[in-house]
Structure 1
Amino acid sequence: MVSLMEDENETLQFCSEAARAIERMNAQINRLQSMLTSITLKRDALRSKVFALRSSSALLLPTELWQLVFRLCLDVFPVISTSSTNLPPILLTHVCRRWRSIALDTPDLWSSLHIVIPKPSSFLLASKCEGIRSATDAFLDRSRDAPLSISLKARDYSGQAPGESPHEVEQILACILPHSKRWKHLKFRMPFSWLVTEATVELSSQDLPLLETVLMDDGYPPFLIGAPSLRQLSLEITAMQTVTLVPCGEWGKIQVLKLFWRHFELNDLFKILSQSTSLRACMVQLLFPSAVDTPLRMETIVMPHLEKLCLTANSGNNLRRILDQLSMSSLQQLYIREHSSLVELNTSLISSFQGFFQRSMCTILKLEIMIARSSSLSLNELANFFRSLSTLQELIIVENMHDDPFMDEHLLQAFTVTSPLIDVLCPRLSKIRFSDRFSFTEQTLLEFVKARSSPYHPSPNPQPDSISSSAGVNEPDSEDLTPLEFIFVRTPRPNFVSRFEKLNLKGVEVVMDSVARFSMISRNTGPSSKEIAIP
């Protein structure tokens, strides 16, 4: 009997323990099922994301299209300086494996570089220069065989050459000189003496087969002589001796020339221009004349291919002497600028302009004037000057605030005349830019725009006794008088732009004059173009 009761107790105990075990198992099963459900949901979401990414059109883009996008992301000259690690194309290699592969396999992404050497007083100069050299070597290696565009800046921020030995410059030159056969565009901002080294002396024309464009801050380095492809040249000349040794044939192959000249003599300028017979575009900035006033050459300098000319002179007399010496039959764009208050558009200068135009027999399409209008110049003389520009299509008048207004009430009224054609100033004019200095009324400006934007067209059947027919004898032909289409006015008058809304113009730009604001622009920014811009 006792044994039976013990068996029953054991059975009950077993059942109780088994029931608790079952409950624990059920709880564990519930937890696992919840985990399974959660994992399943995460899996499905991840699967959807992977599917979406794999089907993304961006990832399906061909490599060539990515290369085009990358090129559009780059500056013309990516900067290599102490703060260049976050700039393209280096940044492109940090995004993903494919972008890195594409960037490293696109040589022209690495073929342009603007190298900025720190000032000698910079903190940790040696370390910074070492980083710049490493980055330069990386660019040159990754560019493979692509033509190189190199800009090298080795001046301090004030534009003056550092006083210490340019050991850092020599090291950078040692990096880029072995690649001279790939140089295509070259810009050096450094003293001339720094370029005349043992390494550069060994360069010859055979080492520069691709070099097309050169910008130098200080003279004409000897290693450029004989470069077979050189066509664009920009020089800052502090003294004539830096260019006296240049053979005549060197100037004859240049098509785009920009001269920024200190301490000049006009005969030296004329010597260069007379030899530059292939020029298509030329810009000359003259600062300080030599103390020696030598007699000028008398032969006319004929430049048959020149289409664009920009002259910045330090005096009206020098500007007049230059114009009296030149003949340019292909000239289409002329820019005249001042470097001092000594340049004024006066009677003698207008006479030189008219003689230059008659001698050249050129077709001037664009004229920019940035010189003061002489107070002694009569309206009739100025009107005759513009009346002679019968082919002019675009006129730009730039004024300095310290000068008297160039465009005034009477001159604007003279431009308003549309009949007879012989009295019309610049009958082909379609674009004009000038400043509003309160020297004319709003009504006069509106009358000018209305008259020139919708010039009179004679009626097909004029009546002999009508007013229009009496004046119709001298009415301009619609083919001879071009409607004004674009006008740019810089004005301090508020709400001025609303006056032009209903006028028949394709383009209107009214800019409100305001206090000048200074923008913080990095001084280490590279050149914005590989070409020499004129003006």
Structure 2
Amino acid sequence: MLNALAADRARIADLDAQIRDLERSLSVLRSENSAAQERLDSYKYPVLTLPNEIVCEIFVHFLPPYPICPPSTGPLSPILLTHICRGWREIAMASPALWRAIHISGNDDLVSTFLSRSVLRPLSIHLNEWQQPFDDLAQDFLAPLLPHCARLEYLTLRLSTYFGPPLIDAVMPLLQRIDLALDNYSESPLVVLRPVPLLRAAVLNDCAAASTALPWAQLTSLTLTMMWPHECIRFCRKHPVYDGVEVTLPSLESLTLTDPPGVNEHPMLSTHLRTFITPALCKLQIQEHFLGSDPIQSLTSFISKSGCNLAHVHIANRRSVPETSYRTAFPSIPTLLFSRAGWRDSTSSDDESDSNPYE
């Protein structure tokens, strides 16, 4: 018994010695740990030393260029920038430029948040209800927008069937471009435009064109989509600058006439260029059969009647007239381009080789 007690006392003494050695080792490790942490705490990451204005500019370039609307949520949204760290969240929330382009789709409850954070910046709005019936819920998305219509610069509405009062009836003095696509005709305009002195561009599909009243004479760009050429002409003849024979577009700078998909050289198309008077026109893209049986005479007559100074003419599907004849007839046009097929054809012609106009 006494021998066992003596052995335990010796064992305890040995364990105490080992514990003291381990504690000394732990003390050294804790000291090294503390010194390493102090060095880390004292280090300033270069990106965190940037002025807030530079960080904001980087954030702006993270998003698509204005007026393109990024998604409201997800990896390409400005919301993502508020989830990185507290400092960057504060910068993002205090940067109105990040919140001025708003994409409204689905059950989106962030519209009011974006509008509030954009402060007084001009707005770009994209409402997309194209894939589902337009209902009261979608109309509710526009409710918080209406008090901010005076800030609207760019407006895109893609709407399924809707019959009702105007969705937007407000003053929009900053509006520059409107893009409307409907999948059904409406007897009354869905967007009522009060004086819009800055409006220059409009994109309308067939249903929107039949349901929209715009200040046509001040437009410099008009795009009609999902329409046959004869429908485009019928549309033009309805607007206020039509005098019964011709359509005068005094501010139009670019005009493109091409066949709709699946249609080749429709006989009705050859008379369409005569319909337009475009004194400000600078750029004309046209398929040769639009110029009729005598393309050079047709183009000469159009230029003379419009009084325009064309700087760029691209003739596609050239077949009947050599390029040299065009160049001889129109020496004052700096850029004359030709292609055998559509606008993106870079095939060289019989007479000489031309560069691709889209390069």
8 Å Cα contact 2:249-2:277 kept in structure 1: yes
| Structure 1 residues 292-331: aligned runs within 5 Å | 297-298=244-245, 301=248, 303=250, 305-313=251-259, 318-331=268-281
| Structure 1 residues 127-526: aligned runs within 5 Å | 129=107, 132=108, 134-156=109-131, 162=132, 166-191=135-160, 194=162, 197-198=164-165, 200=167, 203-205=169-171, 208-218=172-182, 220-238=189-207, 241-243=210-212, 246=213, 250-260=215-225, 261-262=227-228, 264=231, 266=233, 268-270=235-237, 272=239, 274=241, 297-298=244-245, 301=248, 303=250, 305-313=251-259, 318-337=268-287, 343=289, 347-360=293-306, 362-370=308-316, 372-374=317-319, 377=320, 379=322, 382-400=323-341, 407-409=348-350, 411-412=351-352, 432-433=355-356
1:24 and 1:299, CA in 2 relative to 1: closer, same or farther beyond 3 A? closer
Q: What is the distance in 1 between the residues matched to 2:62 and 2:15?
A: 63
8 Å Cα contact 2:166-2:192 kept in structure 1: no
* Alignment TM-score, normalising by the size of structure 2: 0.77
Q: What is the distance in 1 between the residues matched to 2:120 and 2:239?
A: 35
Displacement of 1:87 after TM fit? Answer: 3.0
Displacement of 1:333 after TM fit? Answer: 1.7
1:298 and 1:88, CA in 2 relative to 1: closer, same or farther beyond 3 A? closer
Structure 2: runs of 5 or more not aligned: none
* Alignment TM-score, normalising by the size of structure 1: 0.54
8 Å Cα contact 1:73-1:88 kept in structure 2: no
Displacement of 1:165 after TM fit? Answer: 6.2
Q: What is the distance in 2 between the residues matched to 1:228 and 1:329?
A: 20
Pick aligned residue for 1:79 from 60, 71, 75: 71
- Matched positions, count: 339
8 Å Cα contact 2:125-2:154 kept in structure 1: yes
Q: Which residue of 2 aligns with 1:89?
A: 78
Q: What is the distance in 2 between the residues matched to 1:269 and 1:300?
A: 7
Q: Which residue of 2 aligns with 1:43?
A: 34
1:398 and 1:46, CA in 2 relative to 1: closer, same or farther beyond 3 A? farther
Give the letter for the 2:140 counterpart.
Q
Could you say what secondary structure the match of 1:209 adopts? Answer: coil
8 Å Cα contact 2:273-2:290 kept in structure 1: no
Displacement of 1:385 after TM fit? Answer: 1.7
Displacement of 1:239 after TM fit? Answer: 8.1
Q: Is 1:32 aligned with 2:18?
A: no
Could you say what secondary structure the match of 1:347 adopts? Answer: coil
Q: What is the distance in 1 between the residues matched to 2:238 and 2:338?
A: 31
Q: What is the distance in 1 between the residues matched to 2:34 and 2:305?
A: 84
Q: Deviations over 1:318-344 (max 9, x none)?
A: 554333344445433211259xxxx46
Displacement of 1:226 after TM fit? Answer: 2.9
Structure 1 runs of 4+ aligned residues shifted over 6 Å read none
8 Å Cα contact 1:395-1:433 kept in structure 2: no
Give the letter for the 1:73 counterpart.
F
Q: What is the distance in 2 between the residues matched to 1:365 and 1:108?
A: 36
Could you say what secondary structure the match of 1:78 adopts? Answer: coil
Q: What is the distance in 2 between the residues matched to 1:199 and 1:364?
A: 40
Give the letter for the 1:151 counterpart.
H
Q: Is 1:65 aligned with 2:29?
A: no
Structure 1: runs of 5 or more not aligned: 1-8, 118-128, 157-161, 276-295, 416-430, 435-487, 489-508, 510-535
Q: What is the distance in 1 between the residues matched to 2:255 and 2:232?
A: 19
Identity %: 24
Pick aligned residue for 2:98 from 109, 132, 135: 109
Q: What is the distance in 2 between the residues matched to 1:42 and 1:306?
A: 72
Displacement of 1:399 after TM fit? Answer: 4.5
1:322 and 1:400, CA in 2 relative to 1: closer, same or farther beyond 3 A? closer
1:145 and 1:298, CA in 2 relative to 1: closer, same or farther beyond 3 A? closer
Could you say what secondary structure the match of 1:235 adopts? Answer: strand
Q: Deviations over 1:13-72 (max 9, x none)?
A: 99x95x8766444322221121122122222222222233x2x32111011111100010
8 Å Cα contact 1:364-1:389 kept in structure 2: no
1:353 and 1:320, CA in 2 relative to 1: closer, same or farther beyond 3 A? farther
CA RMSD of aligned residues (A): 3.8
Q: Deviations over 1:172-206 (max 9, x none)?
A: 22343343233221000114x63x644637x243x
Q: What is the distance in 1 between the residues matched to 2:281 and 2:304?
A: 12
8 Å Cα contact 1:373-1:406 kept in structure 2: no
Give the letter for the 1:79 counterpart.
P
Q: What is the distance in 1 between the residues matched to 2:143 and 2:14?
A: 82
1:395 and 1:79, CA in 2 relative to 1: closer, same or farther beyond 3 A? farther
